[in-house]
Amino acid sequence: MSKKVYCSAQFLPKPGKEKALFKVLQSLEPNTLREDGCIQYIVTRHITSPFAEGNSFPIAFNEIWADMASFEAHCQRQEISDFFATYCQAEDGLAEDWNVCIYTDEPEDFDAPQL
């Protein structure tokens, strides 16, 4: 059974705040990458291509976690909860909206071998 958890955390900056929000999100990378369960944690910004014309928020974290416990522990770190309180939930924050979703690479009815 695959235990990895994949997270897509998208952010919609308030008008004129994209560079500032991106910089704050980049500042979360070093400590998060130190977490034992963190496999990948990269903040990215949307670019255009005629081969990728979908809709999304302009800033997105692409994360891979060793397991659900690692992901949930990360979400409860003080640095992360402070980020959401200060930059997302606060009236004067930099984010207008955000969308955090997690995924598995395991098919729904996967007959995982019993080890």
Q: What are the pLDDT digits (tens) for 26-76?
A: 999 999 999 999 999 999 999 999 999 999 999 999 999 999 999 999 999
pTM of the model: 0.90
pLDDT of residue 21: 98
Q: What digits encode the pLDDT tens for the residues 70-93?
A: 999 999 999 999 999 999 999 999
Bridge partners of residue 43, in order along the sequence: 61
pLDDT of residue 1: 58
